[in-house]
Amino acid sequence: MATLNLTLKVWRQRKASEKGSIVTYDAPNIPEEASFLEMLDIVNERIISDGSEEPIHFDHDCREGICGMCSLTINGIPHGKETGVTTCQLHMRKFDDGETIWIEPFRAKAFPVVKDLIVDRSSFDRIMSSGGYIDVRTGSAPDANSMPIEKKLADEAFDAAACIGCGACVASCKNGSAMLFVSAKAAHLNKLPQGKAEKDRRVLGMVRQMDAEGFGNCTNQYECEAACPKEISVDNIAKLNRDFTQATLKEALT
């Protein structure tokens, strides 16, 4: 089995109130078949065996590219240089033997560091609580084909719903904007008949909560789309801007 000898430059920070720094670790004999998180597991096992310090703390859960927990910036790019994958789907065969890898947490004002590579992304939860749901009583679940929906709209809603809320869009944006996340979460509801009844309330609530959380403004440079592991389209941002403008005008006239 082919292996790699790597050097890791890892951000270590004991807690939010303390300053952090980059610490260097040797990572010899890493299997090429290992995922990036499995590589960190191997390094942590060695750190624990050595007993000289705490293991490297990082977020993870499903390790299947679904949960959005693996929020690592790898060599300056959220989730690494490969497109359309999360950190847990990134394999070590994509790196070269002898390479130095820089590993940092997602950087954004609204994502404060908790410890090492773990950041607090509860701001996303509060945005979702402000409108990212449908609360209209619809009775029992209808038959899938009882409400005809144009295929184009269904496909667009499905693509937007693929967002896993990882925050790579925020970490990649120079302004720390959450527009791609918010627009995707709003679009997959607003495009469907079930979500249209609360469309205006949803858009106003989510955008205003996003601003309150301290996320920056979008300047349409599209790093967010490039970094998104689910390749969410920035077209959703344009739609959110239009919906927000219309909802604001309606609110002012009532």
**pLDDT tens across the length of the chain (254 residues):** 799 999 999 999 999 999 999 999 999 999 999 999 999 999 999 999 999 899 999 999 999 999 999 999 999 999 999 999 999 999 999 999 999 999 999 999 999 999 999 999 999 999 999 999 988 776 777 776 777 888 999 999 999 999 999 999 999 999 999 999 999 999 999 999 889 999 999 999 999 999 999 999 999 999 999 999 999 999 999 999 999 999 999 999 98
**Residue 90 CB burial class (10 angstroms; 0-12, 13-18, ≥19):** buried
Last residue of a domain, one of 98, 115, 132: 115
Helix (H) or strand (E) holding 29: strand 21-31
| Predicted structure pTM score | 0.93
Range of the domain at 68: 3-115
CB 157 within 8 A of CB 187: yes
CA distances from 36 to 32, 49, 104 (A): 10, 20, 13
**pLDDT at residue 138 in the model:** 64
Torsion angle, alpha carbons of 182, 200, 246, 179, to 10: 0
* Residues 108 and 145 occupy one common structural domain: no
Calculate the CA 189 to chain-centre distance.
19
What does the pLDDT read at residue 144? Answer: 67
Amino acid, res. 95: F
Do 163 and 200 fall within a single domain?
Answer: yes
User: Looking at residue 98, what is its pLDDT?
Assistant: 98
- Whether 95 and 8 map to the same domain: the answer is yes
Could you say which DSSP state residue 75 is in? T
CATH number at residue 42: 3.10.20.30
Model pLDDT, residue 130: 97
Does residue 225 share a domain with residue 149?
yes
Unique residue bearing structure tokens 């240089």:
81
Residue 54 and residue 85 share a domain: yes
Q: Please give the pLDDT value at position 214.
A: 97
